[in-house]
Amino acid sequence: MGKPILLSTIVERRKLWFEFLSTIMSTPSTQFATPRRMVLYEPNHQMGMWGEPFKADSSPNTGTSSVVEPDLKVDNRSEAASQGNLGPSKKYEQEANKPIDKVLRRLAQNREAARKSRLRKKAYVQQLESSRLKLTQLEQELERARQQGIYVGGTSGDSGHLGLSATVNSGVAVFEMEYGHWVEEQNRQRGDLRNALQAHVSDAELRMLVESGMSHYDDLFRMKSIAAKSDVFYLMSGMWKTAAERFFLWIGGFRPSELLKVLTPQLDPLTEQQLVSVYNLQQSSQQAEDALSQGLDKLQQTLAETLAADPLGASGVANYMGQMTTAMGKLEALVSFVNQADHLRQQTLQQMYRILTTRQAARGLLALADYFHRLRALSSVWAARPREPA
């Protein structure tokens, strides 16, 4: 019985609804929402949906506003939501671009560093190849000189004239060639240091140049140690240096304490702690130099006393040969003096490197290279000076 009553009720309310719609459509001032917003009736909906239109005001305008207004609010909310979503998306895109730019800059820096490394490696390989060719050429010249009996850095007898001895000191010749390359490399490093300091490069790049310069001086001390075993008198005489450099020579090289006096003014400003450390280093270097100088003086004295003894005394020729043997043993101590002096020079440079900052160390190496370069230039000017005819 309940089901027929429900259908009749639905039919009556549908008729009333269509009459209400026809009344609204007949009114000219009535406005409707867009068709896409109209909701179709479905029979399965609840009964309360059909009673909602009759709760509104009976006037047409009021009914119209109740139909259209929800759609406008939905549109406004959707537009606001779309605008709100655009803002954060742009912000997120900008934030995402920041790390990408940083990575691109880092990649560009890495590529530039790799390019410079390849160029340095290529230059080093070319230098090694050039040195190998020069060494081969020098060995051929030495072989020809040996066959012709030409004297080269000889140490035999009392004949130090060219052509009077068949002795060929290949160790001295190799050292002269290597030292010539060493001077060329120092001039190149001097230019690199100057350009780097003027360009205000980073401390990392500057540290590479400083370490290369320190290693370059280590190579010099290694070459001198080998040459001292070959001919220590040649090394101590400074014949491998220019005339102006020989004027400041001390046991085959420069005095560390005097060099510190030259470099310190070029390193300003120094902190108070740095000044104290440099002063202490200068004092300790001076003491070590004095000890080596006293030892060398003692060696000269004992050698002179050994050679001044009368070789025609009681023992005759046998005593003479014993004296020569003793003197030769004392002369071998000269190699140790040269090595100790070079060790002192090397330690002084390393101590200065520890005291100074990277940029100060670069300035110090540049000042040191400029100092030796000017001494060599002074020697050239002195040799080319005008002379009065004899």
Kindly give the residue spans of alpha helices, DSSP state H, lying in the chain. Answer: 2-26, 48-51, 60-148, 170-199, 203-230, 232-237, 243-247, 256-263, 272-308, 317-331, 333-355, 358-383
Q: Are 248 and 254 in contact (CB under 8 A)?
A: yes
Q: Are 362 and 206 in contact (CB under 8 A)?
A: yes
Residue 142: pLDDT band by 50, 70, 90 thresholds?
low
Residue 49, pLDDT > 60, answer no
User: Please, how many CA atoms are within 13 Å of residue 171, restricted to the half-sphere of its CB?
Assistant: 15
Residue 90, pLDDT > 90, answer no
- Please indicate, yes or no, whether the overall pTM of this predicted structure exceeds 0.85: no
pLDDT tens string 187-211: 999 999 999 999 999 999 999 999 9
- Give the residue, 300 or 160, on which the prediction is more confident: 300
Mean pLDDT score across all residues of the chain: 76
Buried b or exposed e, range 70-92, using 16+ CB within 10 angstroms: eeeeeeeeeeeeeeeeeeeeeee
pLDDT tens string 251-310: 999 999 988 988 888 888 899 999 999 999 999 999 999 999 999 999 999 888 888 766
Return the DSSP state at 210: H
* Whole-angstrom distance, CA of residue 223 vs CA of residue 236: 14
* Whole-angstrom distance, CA of residue 173 vs CA of residue 192: 29
